[in-house]
Structure 1
């Protein structure tokens, strides 16, 4: 029997949705230990996925994509990542199911092979990188001639972009708010990409400048203030600036409040997850309580404090 425990991810920014120099997408993000997908798997006479709720069909498709002909598997899902909130649930659920088959049958496929086979990582490579190695990740996107259009990952059919930079994230506290709402997904998400892309090249250059010359060095030098400034900066430029128009009011209110009480705050992907970076546990607990009250008085939701996960999915034999 195989047991798999994944990460989830925060997607901080896409880099290039212009394509002028021949590449698109690229992004920066971070792996977290929770929420996660936890499952066990064993060989069986048929394909059975139990406990996956809304992810049952997705995980079955992932299994079918890699399972040797004539074989079967039984997967029991113990925990899931909430769908469509900004944690990258689709990638983690698909990869965990495919990785279970890969381990059970000794297929020898890499994480990137699995991601391409189950059609994940076609826009952002952060979720694939989080599953593979965790930490803080910057990926290099795709050749535009290969992808052919500005599309979200769920509608893209290209391999994950190359990882340009991966580093253990410093021992910083993050306060993460999860309002009871859903972000854009499926056809709505495709429509947003089609409406707003290509973005002005000046904004692409600004985002790339911040990621290369502020975010990445701040991680390497463990400079929390600079990293928080970079997070704040990229909320107001590039695709993040456009996503602001489709966020619910409570997401805007929570992110603005958290920004005043932390080193930096942002919205992960299309949200509604909001994350912030704080200096110490006491400050984090105070902010957590205040944001929880904001959610309790509006849509409801949960707030928790965590740190980055600097390793990939945990795969073990029982």
Structure 2
């Protein structure tokens, strides 16, 4: 079916990257699986426009395939112009796939006067198979907790959302020399990795409810970073066999180990990496470390260091 839309109409969408701080049920023992914690960040964006014209300029084949898949899910055969101004780097643990699918889907639906339902868009693109935090940050921003997957789950439900303290900043350690595990490799890893024990799983769930979330709301930096470190250790124990250790990048691992020796606890790897992060109490402290690392690793062109705040706002659709 073809849709009739004014050629003058244009929709713009801007959404943010996210850090996947970790799953809190990797035991495989409960009726629900996974459950995850994440936060939207302002360092990376996906920004695009959609208009009712034939394609004007060349577009990335990956993004073009997402557009065609979305039109197919709506039962439409309509020529649209997709223009991507900025895209979150792929396979870096920053949520690029989910954000592109949601941005394209929301742009098309808005252009066609269809409801923008992020869960339905994500399901149409097979996003949210394990984690729903990218969907939740698209809708709300901030720090989010999803409830994992049950037998009838379409996308993991949002359990909690809280604004992230504006003063706290992340220092990202980006390794551009290789990709994090993705696609069939990721699926096979989840099939083959042995589950974690129920005692460790119950402990991290208790920490989430009685340490992580209360500390975030009360802006208790030490308690919150202690929880993040514990959550990261829990996930590293599970994923290490599939990625050759607790972190996908040995360069990132060495830098994070040095921060740990300095007393930082809220550090780790987002999703399958290779991007690492360290949570710091202020932008100034993060920038001081950024400057020092940039000088120390000036000859390592595959490494970069980025200071970013959290984003407490949803994606923008205009």
Name the CA shift for 1:71/1:299 in 2 (closer, same or farther; >3 Å).
same
For 1:221 and 1:308, the matched residues in 2 are separated by: 17
Name the CA shift for 1:49/1:241 in 2 (closer, same or farther; >3 Å).
farther
For 1:49 and 1:178, the matched residues in 2 are separated by: 33
Within the candidate set 23, 30, 33, 2:39 is matched to 30
Q: Deviation string for 1:194-228 (max 9, x for gaps)?
A: 22143222222122122222111111111111111
3-state secondary structure, aligned to 1:251: helix
Within the candidate set 242, 267, 270, 1:268 is matched to 270
8 Å Cα contact 1:50/1:56 also seen in 2: no
Within the candidate set 13, 16, 20, 2:25 is matched to 16
Shift in Å, 1:187: 1.9
Within the candidate set 162, 186, 190, 1:189 is matched to 186
Shift in Å, 1:88: 0.6
8 Å Cα contact 1:50/1:77 also seen in 2: no
For 1:258 and 1:37, the matched residues in 2 are separated by: 30
The structure with the larger Rg is 2
Extract unaligned runs of 5+ from structure 2: 1-9
8 Å Cα contact 1:41/1:75 also seen in 2: yes
Q: Deviation string for 1:45-80 (max 9, x for gaps)?
A: x5x485653633442344324445242311100001
Deviates more, 1:242-251 or 1:219-228: 242-251
3-state secondary structure, aligned to 2:37: strand
Structure 2 match to 1:288: 290
3-state secondary structure, aligned to 1:176: strand
1:43 and 2:40 matched: no
Within the candidate set 60, 64, 73, 2:71 is matched to 64
Name the CA shift for 1:70/1:177 in 2 (closer, same or farther; >3 Å).
same
1:179 and 2:175 matched: yes
Shift in Å, 1:242: 3.0
Shift in Å, 1:263: 4.9
8 Å Cα contact 1:52/1:80 also seen in 2: no
Q: Which structure 2 residues correspond to residues 104-115 of structure 1 after superposition, within 5 A?
A: 104-115=111-122
1:225 and 2:222 matched: yes
8 Å Cα contact 1:244/1:252 also seen in 2: no
8 Å Cα contact 1:66/1:98 also seen in 2: no
TM-score norm. by structure 2 comes to 0.88
1:315 and 2:302 matched: no
For 2:113 and 2:119, the matched residues in 1 are separated by: 16
8 Å Cα contact 1:115/1:121 also seen in 2: yes
8 Å Cα contact 1:49/1:60 also seen in 2: no
Name the CA shift for 1:54/1:219 in 2 (closer, same or farther; >3 Å).
farther
Structure 2 match to 1:128: 135
How many residues align? The count is 301
Name the CA shift for 1:198/1:314 in 2 (closer, same or farther; >3 Å).
same
3-state secondary structure, aligned to 2:45: coil
8 Å Cα contact 2:140/2:313 also seen in 1: yes
Shift in Å, 1:296: 3.9
Structure 2 match to 1:242: 238
1:279 and 2:275 matched: no
3-state secondary structure, aligned to 1:36: strand
8 Å Cα contact 1:85/1:183 also seen in 2: yes
For 1:122 and 1:79, the matched residues in 2 are separated by: 25
